[in-house]
Structure 1
Amino acid sequence: MLLIEGAKSGPYNMAADEWCAAWAAHHGTIILRLYRWQPATLSLGYFQSYDDRKSHPTSQPCPVVRRPSGGGAIVHDREWTYALCLPAEHPLAKDRLSLYMTVHETLANWLRRWGAGAVVLRQEDLPNRCGPNPSRSCPFLCFQRRTVGDIVAVVDRETFFGNQLPPERALEMDGTTGMAHPSQSARTSTVKLVGSAQRRTRDAVLQHGSILIGQSSWAPELPGLWEVLGHEEPIAENNEIFRDFAVAWPPMLAQVLGWRLEHFPQSVGRDALFNELFTRFSSQEWTCKSRSSTG
């Protein structure tokens, strides 16, 4: 089932993701939900402390929501978010990493259609990656972290960043698989364009992720696809890239997995479950949980 929704608030989006996961489990089907955010919102990973947002001053004006999944904070603005909901007994739901890689390979293919040198990171590329319950040494923002399955674009370091970043392991792309490989050259660097996280329950698996289309004024340190393609002016909200993602990527995923896309037959339910979830994700008690209380 495919559900594409317009821009919604943070609490709505988080409640809708969990509602779709429950619906998928109850009906034994798969739901792919695509959506955007209004207004621009900072989402915290489940294990992050609310107080950690003070480390990122430019996003302070944004409303905040806490995700049910882990990982770093995301500024949802010039991007698309997807949520893939599967019953726990579905074969693809059994293997956490396989699900990441399968979805991300199709996302990398979509990015490469637009001319980005997109690669999917493997374990050997990340000797010092952040874990699922990161320490304070990990960057606050998701798109400043690197973990297995992330999609990055390979860019010329000097042209793209100048002297702003310290040296890092460069990556070169295997043109056959699109996977990342270490390179001896220090002339290239990486820009993260896609990151995902999962919430796994007894009945369902919810995987949601962010595809960074363009740089946000609330997180100006993070370039997106638009900037990787060489544009200096901010991307317009009506740019064709936004529409192309919603139109072109779902069939790419369906083809790889052998699925038949059908539009979701109803809107996200305004039922008792949705109302309960919406109340949770809207509450200060949930959003402002401390690090110790989220473990």
Structure 2
Amino acid sequence: MAIDEALLESAANQEWCTLRWYQWNQPTISLGYFQKNEAKESVENWKDLPRVRRLSGGGAILHHHELTYAFALPGCHPLAKSPPELYVAIHQPIIDVLAAHGLQVQFRGVSFRSETEPFLCFGRGDERDLVYQGQKILGSAQRRRRGAIVQHGSLLLLTSEHATDFSGLLNLTEQVERYQTEFLAALTEDFSHAISQALKLPLKSQFLTDEEQAQSESLEKEKYSVEAWTARK
């Protein structure tokens, strides 16, 4: 989370565009920026998992058998003026890459809201979500800073034992055996190339500059590791 904020700062200050794909070393819940650190319902399977707070909004994501991305876009890019279009611009290349790998998904096309929003993001529905046979497999959220945008997203590949109501794409397509390092590496490389081509933007080749590394380490220590940041309501 600290690295993603440092990338947003670089987008705002240096007009750099960066795409980052990563996974988590243990099942973790990331809370949306504006979200309360609680759930009205008691869910034994995930209530004791570690939690962090994202810079982006939206509902909580249970990061387990999935791929997370962070995309930082400078304010000078036309898509920064239209955040809804940025969702589509990122999600369409993901659709295309998954199709090339034999996994057919599509935009949900309609939004739905309940009187009380579910705690977990995958229980919510937006028209720009990606779905397989109506089941949400990718959702995203954004945060703006000085015109620049960071967009987070989660691609759910396998069902987590901590949230069995939400099926992973490889479970739904009966291709669980594909969840291996080689497949995940191929996906992320193809996603990065397709998104770069679609947005007509070169992505920063060096992942973290020395300045970004130092800033992320400072943010980790002074913000994201501080209980008050995660626990705030």
**TM-score calculated relative to the size of structure 1:** 0.72
CA positional deviation for 1:63: 0.7
In the alignment, the residues of structure 1 paired with residue 32 and residue 204 of structure 2 have an alpha-carbon distance, to the nearest angstrom, of 31
- 8 Å contact 2:19–2:203 — kept in the other structure? no
Residues 177-256 of structure 1: pairs in structure 2 closer than 5 A? 190-231=134-175, 236=179, 238-256=180-198
Q: SS of the residue aligned with 1:149?
A: coil
Q: Corresponding residue for 1:285?
A: 228
Deviations along 1:232-267, one digit per CA (max 9) or x if unpaired, are x6775x353312211211111122222334522545
In the alignment, the residues of structure 2 paired with residue 72 and residue 264 of structure 1 have an alpha-carbon distance, to the nearest angstrom, of 31
Q: Corresponding residue for 1:91?
A: 78
Q: Corresponding residue for 1:293?
A: none
One-letter amino acid matched to 2:132: A
Deviations along 1:91-123, one digit per CA (max 9) or x if unpaired, are 11110111011111111122222333311133x
Deviations along 1:121-159, one digit per CA (max 9) or x if unpaired, are 33xx22x336xxxx6x121111121112110111xxxxx
**Residues 16/101 of structure 1: CA separation in 2 closer, same or farther (3 Å cut):** same
In the alignment, the residues of structure 1 paired with residue 57 and residue 217 of structure 2 have an alpha-carbon distance, to the nearest angstrom, of 23
Where in structure 2 are there 5+ consecutive unaligned residues? none
Total equivalences in the alignment? 231
Q: Corresponding residue for 1:178?
A: none
One-letter amino acid matched to 2:7: C
1:72 to 59, 69, 85: 59
Q: SS of the residue aligned with 1:245?
A: helix
RMSD of aligned alpha carbons: 2.1
- 8 Å contact 1:54–1:60 — kept in the other structure? no
- 8 Å contact 2:70–2:152 — kept in the other structure? yes
**Residues 22/71 of structure 1: CA separation in 2 closer, same or farther (3 Å cut):** same
In the alignment, the residues of structure 2 paired with residue 55 and residue 148 of structure 1 have an alpha-carbon distance, to the nearest angstrom, of 28
- 8 Å contact 1:194–1:210 — kept in the other structure? yes
Aligned pair 1:140/2:129, yes or no?
A: no
In the alignment, the residues of structure 2 paired with residue 220 and residue 234 of structure 1 have an alpha-carbon distance, to the nearest angstrom, of 18
Q: Which is worse superposed, 55-64 or 65-74?
A: 55-64
In the alignment, the residues of structure 2 paired with residue 240 and residue 53 of structure 1 have an alpha-carbon distance, to the nearest angstrom, of 39
Q: SS of the residue aligned with 2:106?
A: strand
- 8 Å contact 1:88–1:94 — kept in the other structure? yes
Q: Corresponding residue for 2:113?
A: 129
One-letter amino acid matched to 1:282: S
- 8 Å contact 1:53–1:60 — kept in the other structure? no
In the alignment, the residues of structure 2 paired with residue 198 and residue 91 of structure 1 have an alpha-carbon distance, to the nearest angstrom, of 16
- 8 Å contact 1:36–1:80 — kept in the other structure? yes
Q: Corresponding residue for 1:107?
A: 94
In the alignment, the residues of structure 2 paired with residue 142 and residue 40 of structure 1 have an alpha-carbon distance, to the nearest angstrom, of 15
**Residues 100/147 of structure 1: CA separation in 2 closer, same or farther (3 Å cut):** same
In the alignment, the residues of structure 2 paired with residue 101 and residue 280 of structure 1 have an alpha-carbon distance, to the nearest angstrom, of 31
In the alignment, the residues of structure 1 paired with residue 40 and residue 104 of structure 2 have an alpha-carbon distance, to the nearest angstrom, of 31
Greater C-alpha radius of gyration: 1
**TM-score calculated relative to the size of structure 2:** 0.90
Where in structure 1 are there 5+ consecutive unaligned residues? 1-13, 155-189, 291-295
**Residues 254/221 of structure 1: CA separation in 2 closer, same or farther (3 Å cut):** same
1:45 to 32, 46, 53: 32
CA positional deviation for 1:213: 1.4
